């Protein structure tokens, strides 16, 4: 596909823009000169961010209140982007929520709402984006998770939704390649990130939810997203620990399953739940990039940063090829 515009010349649509990774990506993109269309359900949080951005330089962003589970609403986002900026060059699907609780405890209504946001929100955004980018080209970035490869107890439907996002993204990429459509498609796979996701979760547990360490800053995911907007990659893991765990599960799935009690322990704090309803069905608790993880938060991921450097990537790939060839030669 032809090279994409530099970041400062792009207009980027970002869903889930009122909180966590989405909000961190909005701020980083604007700081680096891009124009941004912010999309989320929370009008107040979007308006507050709009005012903050406008105070630093008007005309760099607009916001559109929309539920990603509504395809028509996202068609409206594309129209607003065209009216304000003449269209868009990249679309980033970040919107997502989670539920803590054993699968049989969770109501059908809650299961369906999560899939409507996490999976169908990604499908809707992707198809709207491709319809507008298929002739001129651009980038589509879907935020999956290390849970696109793994399963965790107590977040079963979240894992199912992220598995579905991966399958959809891979199939869409193949179909675009088959039809020679110049849209780069990247799947981002973050590991545990210090965002308000646990605090905004629907919680069926008796304790406040948490995430298993190591924990990374949301800005580390934003770096990977904005890299993919200019230099599309098939997939990018954010956090070397997530990649290592994914490889371990692929190598020894039965052994991985035995980690369930350990993972479950890390997913719960000692405190009682603060807001069991969370933001699953209605916007709540938006406006912050960071959560309140009480432990150490990694500033950067050496693994991820090395992978985003094309020189380092080439060296690592060449080294791996040479090592494999040497090993094969010795065996022969």
Calculate the CA dihedral of residues 186, 288, 26, 211 and round it to 10 degrees.
Answer: -10
Which is catalytic among the residues 158, 204, 296, 303?
158
Could you tell me the two tokens for 178?
Answer: 């088959």
Annotated catalytic, 216?
no
Taking each helix axis as running N to C, give the angle between helix 156-178 and helix 120-133, from 0 to 180 degrees, rounded to the nearest 10: 20
What H or E segment, with its residue span, contains residue 63?
strand 61-65
Taking each helix axis as running N to C, give the angle between helix 120-133 and helix 108-118, from 0 to 180 degrees, rounded to the nearest 10: 20
Q: Which residues of 57-94 are buried (b: 16+ CB within 10 A; e: fewer)?
A: eeebbbbbbbbbbeeebbebbbebbeebbeebbbbbbb
Using alpha carbons only, give the angle 313, 236, 256 rounded to the nearest 5 degrees.
110
Q: Indicate which residues carry an active-site annotation.
A: 158
């Amino acid at each position: 596909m032809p090279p994409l515009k530099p970041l400062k010349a792009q207009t980027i649509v970002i869903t889930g823009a009122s909180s966590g990774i989405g909000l961190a990506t909005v701020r980083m993109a604007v700081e680096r000169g891009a124009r941004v269309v912010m999309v989320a359900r929370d009008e107040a949080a979007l308006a507050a961010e709009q005012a903050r951005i406008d105070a630093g330089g008007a005309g760099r962003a607009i916001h559109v209140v929309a539920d990603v589970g509504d395809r028509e609403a996202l068609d409206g986002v594309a129209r607003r982007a065209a009216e304000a900026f003449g269209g868009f060059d990249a679309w980033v699907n970040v919107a997502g929520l989670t539920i803590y609780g054993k699968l049989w405890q969770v109501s059908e209504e809650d299961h369906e709402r999560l899939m409507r946001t996490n999976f169908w929100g990604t499908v809707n955004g992707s198809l709207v984006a491709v319809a507008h980018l298929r002739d001129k080209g651009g980038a589509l970035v879907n935020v999956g998770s290390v849970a696109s490869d793994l399963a965790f107890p107590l977040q079963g439907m979240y894992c199912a939704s992220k598995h579905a996002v991966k399958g959809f993204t891979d199939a869409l990429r193949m179909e675009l390649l088959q039809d020679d459509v110049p849209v780069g498609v990247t799947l981002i796979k973050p590991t545990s990130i210090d965002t308000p996701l646990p605090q905004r979760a629907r919680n069926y547990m008796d304790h406040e939810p948490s995430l298993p360490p190591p924990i990374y800053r949301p800005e580390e995911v934003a770096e990977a997203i904005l890299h993919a907007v200019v230099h599309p990659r098939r997939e990018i893991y954010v956090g070397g620990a997530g990649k290592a765990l994914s490889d371990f599960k692929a190598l020894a799935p039965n052994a991985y399953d035995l980690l369930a009690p350990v993972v479950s322990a890390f997913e719960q704090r000692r405190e009682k739940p603060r807001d069991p309803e969370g933001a699953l069905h209605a916007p709540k608790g938006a406006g912050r990039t960071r959560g309140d993880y009480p432990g150490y938060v990694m500033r950067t991921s050496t693994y991820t940063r090395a992978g985003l450097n094309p020189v380092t990537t080439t060296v690592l790939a060449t080294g791996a090829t040479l090592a494999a060839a040497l090993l094969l030669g010795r065996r022969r």
